[in-house]
Chains A and B, each alone.
Chain A
Amino acid sequence: MPIIVISPLKQSFALSEYLLPAKTSDSFWPSMAAAAETSSDRTLRNAFGSVLSFFILLLIGVLAFSIRLFSVIKYESVIHEFDPYFNYRVTQFLTKNGIYDFWNWFDDRTWYPLGRVIGGTVYPGLTLTAGTLWRILNSLNIPLSVETVCVFTAPIFSAFASWATYLLTKEVKGAGAGLTAAVLLAMVPSYISRSVAGSYDNEAVAIFALIITFYLYIKTLNTGSLFYATLNAIAYFYMVCSWGGYTFIINLIPMHVLLCIVTGRYSSRLYIAYAPLVVLGTLLASLVPVVGFNAVLTSEHFASFLVFIIIHVVALVYYIKGILSAKMFKVAVTLVVSIGLLVCCAVIAVLIALVASSPTMGWSGRSLSLLDPTYASKYIPIIASVSEHQPPTWPSYFMDINVLAFLVPAGIIACFLPLSDASSFAVLYIVTSVYFSGVMVRLMLVFAPAACIMSGIALSQAFDVFTRSIKFQLPGILGKSEFDAGDTSSSGVVAENDAAKPDKSEEKLKERPSRKNKKKEKELVEKASVEKTSTKSKIEKRLLVLPLEASVIALLLLVFLGAFYVVHCVWAAAEAYSAPSIVLTSHSHDGLHVFDDFREAYAWLRHNTEVDDKVASWWDYGYQTTAMANRTVIVDNNTWNNTHIATVGTAMSSPEKAAWEIFNSLDVKYVLVVFGGLVGYPSDDINKFLWMVRIGGGVFPHIKEPDYLRDGQYRIDSQATPTMLNCLMYKLSYYRFVDVDGKGFDRVRRTEIGKKYIKLTHFEEVFTTHHWMVRIYKLKPPRNRIRGKTKKSKTKTSATSSSRKSVARKKNPWH
């Protein structure tokens, strides 16, 4: 342990290169390094090493926090996006009413008229965290608003996450790799995209929980301490509280355990790391209301139970093997195997029966779409309609993890060089997460930490090799190097120490599985380790044959790579990912334009409608409407009821009268549509409209997608189908649009609209925001009178008709 800690010395130089562009205090490093160099005492150096790494970690934390503040600086301290608004609302409720009311909260303002049991359907980790944070701050007499706390929760937890990454990578490959990985994670764009200030979402804390759970698992695996096992279970509990992605953990860890068993790396530490986690973890997970009995009933969790049984069998076998002689053991094996096979068959049969009997084969739709990428698009349009459930494209990999993509393979190789339990876990982690991220963009987030860990390992190993070779190329200075040579020498020494250490620990690791007679082995080990170190040093020498120039150039290249990464990350944080999406900006030559239409519309709703009025919109805007306008919505972003969403989708794609009837049956008073045609905002309702048709048509078959497509093409110009031109969404979006420029030119679709003069009979426009991005319509009340059949005679005087029209607009224009 103490020896590993020194390596930050070496790493610090690499780090300082990274940190430079990120505006952390670069002057700090040389002084500390110099201080470290002057001390020849080893323990003192260790102390300095740990102090140094502590400060580095502190700075990493500051970096992770501050790089996420671009959104606050460039925009303002607001909650972003859609889901965070719900979380914010829940947090407000929590801070106002306390935990028990939150637990039992039945929300009657969403999913009208069904309502939603918030306490039982929400992952409470995030809100509880922020609520606790707020309470602590308030009790310290720091009167921050709930919103402020929510805005800054994600940056704070990303700092924690980078520390957790340090710990995890340290367990895998030593502190140097740990620090590198932590720095990488602090800035990885993929993670920034979900954790900028204001992005108050489950992922913000879940990634921290994920990494800390993995760390504690590895820690338990390395130490075999029940204490860490307990902590691990608690960390797992926190993860379950925070995010549905916990199933990744409960499947990855059994996979790793299985891998260890299969490759003959079983140890009793593995048992201690795994068995208590399953029992305690399952119990704790069932305590979370949203998971409940699912923790034992759905087949996502069955893998862990299966492995739980297997590990018991294996443990028993190893135990018996330990106390029996070889011959006797053989006998026992023949006996047990024959019986065991039968039992196994029975167990597997029971399991299969259980899996088959549970609905959808026990797998929830989202998990199924992970295993079979085409599942969602085939069966569940509502899952497929979400852009973050789509498979990512290659550019998005480059965008989100940048140079890490190239470093990952190197990291995997580095993990294999001395394969330990921990590094095999890291390899498994990256392999599975690469697969999952390939299925769903959203899971890029799980992949990013793995990529950071791998790249951290790769970078630190590369630095290791290069600095070492440089040091050996300069043998003349070697003697004095520790005192005066500067960076290269000290790092070289460190590298040497570092290189020696993993080997020893490696030996230890390898000997563990086989423990027949201790003494013999002990001797053997010592011998082996001596031998190995000698061979290793030979290998090292061979490695060090790298020419000086090559290693210097390679070092420079690596530094350049790092610098490129940093520049990219800062750009991503500042430009790409910090837009709150509730406020939009556009740059033009005459300056910055701000589109604050959403808040304008929600404020209008809040101030101009009755408290109990129901607002219908496509589900994307449900959370924002409840949180910002405080009005009841029909559907929202929690898409638990497909039928209800389909009802709204059907209404939007029906002609006016039918739509009016649907909305009226749901007591809807206002309909809100988002329209980007005037300013060129592309994620508006017209662009999402086909999903409404699909989802609506999935439940109500009279809505057929081909009716809205002309020759398979989705168009809104004069070529559009009559169904399209007469559907409610089209009418509400383009009502009066032609008045703007006389042509009705839609800037998103880049075409003139097909039906320019739209008359609304059952709806009336009540509000349209500044840039027309949000339009709110009111349902007209049912006709007061029913007209007769006779056609209106044409003999009316013009004066009458014109004046009538003007009055009619206000009152009751049903004629």
Chain B
Amino acid sequence: MGRKGRMGISHSSSVTLGAPTYIFRIFSVFNVSTQLNSTRVAREMVKLCVLIAAVSLLPILCLSFSPENPTDRRVLVLLDDLSLKSSHSIFFNSIKSRGFDVDFKLADDPKLSLQRYGQYLYDALILFSPSTDRFGGSLDLAGVLDFVDSGHDLVLAADESASDLIRNIATECGVDFDEDSSAIVIDHKSFAVSETEGDHTLIVSDDFIQSDVILGSTKVEAPVLYKGIAHSVNAANSLVLKVLSASPSAYSANPSSKLSNPPLHSGSAISLVSVVQARNNARIMITGSLDMFSNRLLRSGVQKAGDSNKYSKSGNEQFVTELSRWVFHERGHLKAVNLRHHKVGETDEPAIYRINDDLEFSVEIYEWSGKSWEPYVANDVQVQFYMMSPYVLKTLSTDQKGLYHTSFKVPDVYGVFQFKVEYQRLGYTGLSLSKQIPVRPFRHNEYERFIPTAFPYYGASFTTMAGFFIFSIVYLYNK
């Protein structure tokens, strides 16, 4: 369309300033540039080192955690003191029995390290060290967050003595513990009936999240015993889910002091157990009760106040086990592979489509069962044919074996489109696939030809041509 690039036509030579002041400038420029150079060299060196390390550790990485085998294998448990190891042994044993390598360490162990040579040594972290102010070794808040941001899982349990560090970790994940460090959850209605009439801090709750994926397909019958602090989640935060909420009568306050102000957190806004699924599918479970995992509560029977139903065993064991299954990716982990598309009647994937082409699209989706990939069956998987906005939105039909497919017509618009599969379901890892594909307009010889309506014009053209010949002959012979 002609030249418009010459924005600075009058400037084209203007860097040649020529003025004496420029001498000075050049000097400064060169100083700067040498500095830049040296820092750049250093940066490059670092990069190189990282690269080498990455290459050398690649096999280990492949073994430890791969998309092919998303379940965690190595779990690090950080404890305040090692007695927790025995007091929470049921929970740990259930993890171990599922094939995890569990490594116990004190939270202030000076040799504590999550990674070595840039590689993480663990796939999941269980923080049962609520009172730790500082981790030992090189681990700190950012270290934990980086651990999560690189796709690893985290279980965090706090209690009344939760330190700032633990609170900060929770906050970074979108969970806010009650800022009042002495407050715990009190419920004068749905507390656990016990021998001693206590202060109603051991509460029961059965307000579970309605999700088979997170809590397993068998329903948790017995309510869960809970003793600990409250937290809240931001409703606008789409990544955090309240798995276990307090009853409407619960509130968060210091049980030993008299309530002067209305409590900050109350009712079912109080979340007892929350899970976070980060955008990179790292899973985090946060709760304000370390006791919830303890052998004592796992074993004890439960009777809700005012409820005659007495369960011989609390729901805690089933609840925490199922939840840990989910957190450790033994459930609800999807993968989509073999995104394919081709024209109807062909099998090869074209590099470009033409407008109004008919195409077939297919994708395979599998779910990780903890041991193997099983076909995922659902009827709500959709594909978008997307360019700034979806031009085509179709629900994929499945063959029950993991293959989803559909066919549609390319819209009458050219441009660079994308096949997009966005599948976000509660509890499942998010699937977000996109594949770019350009759509071109008709080629110049693909338009319709020999249209009947145009025949008169064809006729006219050819008549004139014939006329020209006849005329030439007549004219030439006339002389």
Contact = CB atoms under 8 A, between A and B. Distances in A.
Contacts of B143: 807
A759 interface: no
Contacts of A385: 7
Contact of A788 (B25, B148, B171): B171
A680 B15 contact: yes
Given A620-B5, A786-B174, A788-B174, A115 B33 contact: no
Interface of B: 1-18, 20, 22-23, 25-26, 28-29, 32-33, 36, 134, 140-143, 145-146, 148-149, 164, 167-168, 170-177, 179, 233-234, 237-240, 276, 278-280, 282, 352, 387-388, 414-418, 436, 438-441, 443-444
Contacts of A683: 7-8, 11-12, 14
Interface in A558-608: 575-576, 579, 581, 584-590, 593, 595
Contact of B28 (A595, A640, A741): A741
Given A106-B440, A770-B36, A783-B279, A81 B6 contact: yes
Contacts of B282: 784
Contacts of A640: 1
A437 B142 CA distance: 64
B176 A790 contact: yes
Interface in A623-661: 623, 632, 637-640
A793 interface: yes
Nearest to A676: B15
Given A106-B352, A106-B440, A741-B28, A620 B7 contact: yes
A586 B23 contact: no
A219 interface: no
Contacts of B240: 786
Interface stretch (A259-267, A484-492, A698-706, A796-804): A796-804
A760 interface: no
A289 B441 CA distance: 14
Interface string A793-815: 10111001001100110011001
Contact-residue bracket for chain A = 35 or more
Given A83-B3, A683-B8, A784-B282, A793 B168 contact: yes
Which of B4, B179, B352, B388 is most buried by chain A, counting CB atoms within 10 A of its CB? B4
A680 B17 contact: yes
B215 to A, nearest CB: 22
A232 interface: no
B23 A782 contact: no
Contacts of A202: 2-3
A623 B146 contact: no
A502 interface: no
Contact of A623 (B5, B414, B438): B5
B5 A579 contact: no
A740 to B, nearest CB: 5
6 contacts: A81-B6, A117-B440, A203-B3, A585-B16, A586-B15, A682-B15
A812 B173 CA distance: 13
B426 to A, nearest CB: 17
Contacts of A106: 352, 414, 438, 440-441
A526 interface: no
B1 A388 contact: no
B278 A115 contact: no
A352 B477 CA distance: 47
A297 to B, nearest CB: 17
B9 A104 contact: no
A740 B234 CA distance: 42
Contacts of A117: 414, 440-441
Contacts of A108: 352, 416, 438
A768 B439 CA distance: 35
Contacts, number: 223
A711 B8 CA distance: 26
Interface string A343-379: 0000000000000000000000000000000000000
Given A108-B438, A584-B15, A678-B29, 10 more contacts: A82-B4, A114-B415, A115-B416, A117-B441, A680-B25, A682-B11, A768-B36, A784-B282, A792-B171, A807-B142
B15 A785 contact: no
Given A81-B6, A678-B32, A789-B176, A115 B18 contact: no
A665 B1 CA distance: 27
Contact of A682 (B14, B175, B239, B417): B14
Given A115-B415, A586-B16, A595-B15, A688 B149 contact: no
Contacts of B13: 575-576, 579
Interface in A738-765: 740-741, 747
B6 A589 contact: no
Interface of A: 81-83, 103-104, 106, 108, 112-115, 117, 119-123, 201-203, 243-244, 289, 385-389, 441-442, 575-576, 579, 581, 584-590, 593, 595, 612, 620, 623, 632, 637-640, 665-666, 676, 678-683, 688, 740-741, 747, 768, 770-772, 781-790, 792-793, 795-797, 800, 803-804, 807-808, 811-812, 815
A385 B240 CA distance: 48
A744 to B, nearest CB: 13
B5 A82 contact: yes
B276 A785 contact: yes
Contacts of A789: 176, 234
B37 to A, nearest CB: 8
Given A681-B15, A787-B174, A788-B174, A593 B26 contact: yes
A153 to B, nearest CB: 15
B146 A811 contact: yes
Contacts of A797: 134
Given A386-B7, A682-B8, A784-B279, A244 B16 contact: no
A387 B26 CA distance: 28
Contacts of B173: 785, 788
A587 B15 CA distance: 9
Given A106-B441, A788-B174, A804-B140, A782 B279 contact: yes
B436 A612 contact: yes
Contacts of A638: 1, 4
Contact of B9 (A114, A441, A584, A812): A441
A679 B15 contact: yes
Nearest to B434: A667
B277 to A, nearest CB: 10
B280 A387 contact: no
Contact of A590 (B12, B17, B23, B237): B23
